[in-house]
Amino acid sequence: MAKSSFKLEHPLEKRQDEVARIRAKYPDRIPVRIFKLLLRRLERVTFLILIKKKYLVPADLTVGQFVYVVRKRIKLKLSAEKAIFVFVNNTLPPTGEG
């Protein structure tokens, strides 16, 4: 798989240092970065603009709750019929508590 432009511009060591600094300052939070959000409408692709791309998420927040927060922060309104998928290391995590 090709590396994203973000990963090319920000080496792993630099990203790890930033996460360590954030985790030291906010030990009860998990730093999350959203890379891209797409909405496909028939033939055309529209990029949705997020207000925030970096989040400090409470450790007890479920993926489903996080998706709800992201959905609320999208500038273009996203109808309830449209899905948002969250992938962690190319894996779709469970949305609720296990």
Residue 59 has pLDDT above 70, yes or no: yes
For 13-49, the pLDDT digits (tens) are 999 999 999 999 999 999 998 876 555 555 555 555 5
Residue 46 lies in a domain: yes
Residue 41 lies in a domain: yes
In the three-class reduction of DSSP (H, G, I as helix; E, B as strand; rest coil), residue 8 is classed as helix
What Å distances lie between residue 45 and 42, 70, 75, 98, CA to CA? Answer: 8, 19, 16, 34
Structural domains counted in the chain? 1
For 83-96, the pLDDT digits (tens) are 777 888 888 888 88
Contact assessment for residue 22 and residue 56, using Cβ atoms and an 8 Å cutoff: yes
Residue 97 lies in a domain: no
Domain housing 65: 30-73
Contact assessment for residue 84 and residue 71, using Cβ atoms and an 8 Å cutoff: yes
Residue 66 lies in a domain: yes
Residue 54 lies in a domain: yes
Residue 11 lies in a domain: no
Q: What is the pTM of this model?
A: 0.68
